[in-house]
Structure 1
Amino acid sequence: MHVEPRSGLLVAWGNALLAGRVPPDDAVSEIVGADEPHRVTGVPGESIPVGLSLALGRLRALGVTGLRLALPVAGDPLALPGPPTFNDLALVAGEAVITVGAPGTAYGLVPAVTTHGPAGDATVRVAWTMTEVVDRPAPGPFLAEAERELAEAMRDAIDDLTRLDVAGSGPGAQRALAGLYRKDSDTRVAPGHPGRAGRVLDQARRIHAVLTVATGEDGAAVSAAEISARLSALAPLERACRRAMVAAYSAALEPDRA
């Protein structure tokens, strides 16, 4: 998963645009960042790929009032709405955007990211595929409960992280572990998001950095069995981390809960 999933940026800044809190050019600039201009295929009424600004404007005209993030993995789809063809695309990408709005305006967007050019001078292209999805209410997670789950999972995982000797994998792992205890926030949230969303995102990213070390080839484990043990021990924390990111990026849709 990208440190800041592109679907998360689309959700956060797309919601700010749909709510009238930022102009289209500003929202698109925040979503695209250093990427090449994003293109969207499957926008209703369009036979060719279009830019993000047109795609978001078309969604608003169709009655879409908000966007929600999905960060699914195999065995934990995190309430992907269906149909199976869309769910499969989202699972391969590890992320997706689900629209919220009037009946009959249920769409899903999935990004395909490709890198072109030599190292150090590469460009990133993002092509979004938009399709109709099953229209069903999103069950959450909501920010307050996701933050609580993340804190509980972190406490439960401390012993596992120590027992599995994550820090033994080197200075990078030690820095990642030390980052868990930082209290400052360097996340800029989109207009309409509560301050808590930034703090939750910061903590989720720091935990994700530790999980990347603990479950990857850079971890101290040297055998497949040891890596499998880490994956099993840290699975609840990984899920809580994803749920926290989903809730934080989508927090503008639940201001009464944040």
Structure 2
Amino acid sequence: MIASAAPVAVIFRRSPSRLVQLIRWHLGDDQIEAGQWFKGLIHAARCDLSPSGQYLIYFAAIHRAPYGSWTAISRPPYLTALALWPKGDSRGGGGMFTGEAQVVLDHQPKEMVLAEGFDLPENFRPTSIAAHSGWTPGDLEERKALRDGWQVIAEAGLLYPVPGSRPRPFMPMRQHEKPGEDGLRLRRLRSSFERGHRTEYAVTDRHGRMILTLPNCDWADWQGGDLLYAQGGALYRLRGGSLAQGLAQAEQVHDFNGTQFAPLAPPDWATRW
């Protein structure tokens, strides 16, 4: 995800062994800053960066005491919590920034109590997304998408197979587009499944013709006229002037394959507001 008011992004790198590493990507010079690892699940779709990129809100779960699951705010690329709201389940959780010190949590009002030992600056204003928080799948993700410039262009109920069972209807496939430069648009097709998710990306021209597809792509977004994306455990940048020439022209920013877990203690600045 990319900060709205600063050239910085964060990436959650998942390993096959239920480990997640937080990465900070400095978009101005494509420098990569490796951060802390987490042993458990982080739901990336329920995370968000503050406009400056200084703060990250994330939803994590280990499904054991003392919290089970929780929403926290940290300073990337560290996950050390500055504020933590216990959740206990996966019905909702996470949040989004509506300002540098304003955050909306996908928690029910009764779940808006900070865990013992945590506090917030006086100017920080957390609110609950709605009285039905946690009961409307995709509501938080949709709000974030619309805020970040994605537009809903299609929605239709489709049939998808689940391994070992007959095809059945799932939640609708929802297609979004995000305008780029020179009439180009990044198209995202996201479908919700009973087990997992699938997201596909493509680039279309001003006439709606597909000029580029991104197979097996984990994430994609615009930065100015450049296309940024994650694929096969690596980050790439495809310059705007090279889009028509295809993915062969993409520059690999960093390859994370082979990186192994290593404990990383947070510096002092990452442990305080």
TM-score with structure 2 length normalisation?
0.28
| Structure with greater contact order relative to length (CA < 8 Å, sep ≥ 6) | 1
TM-score by length of 1: 0.29
| Higher percent of residues as helix | 1
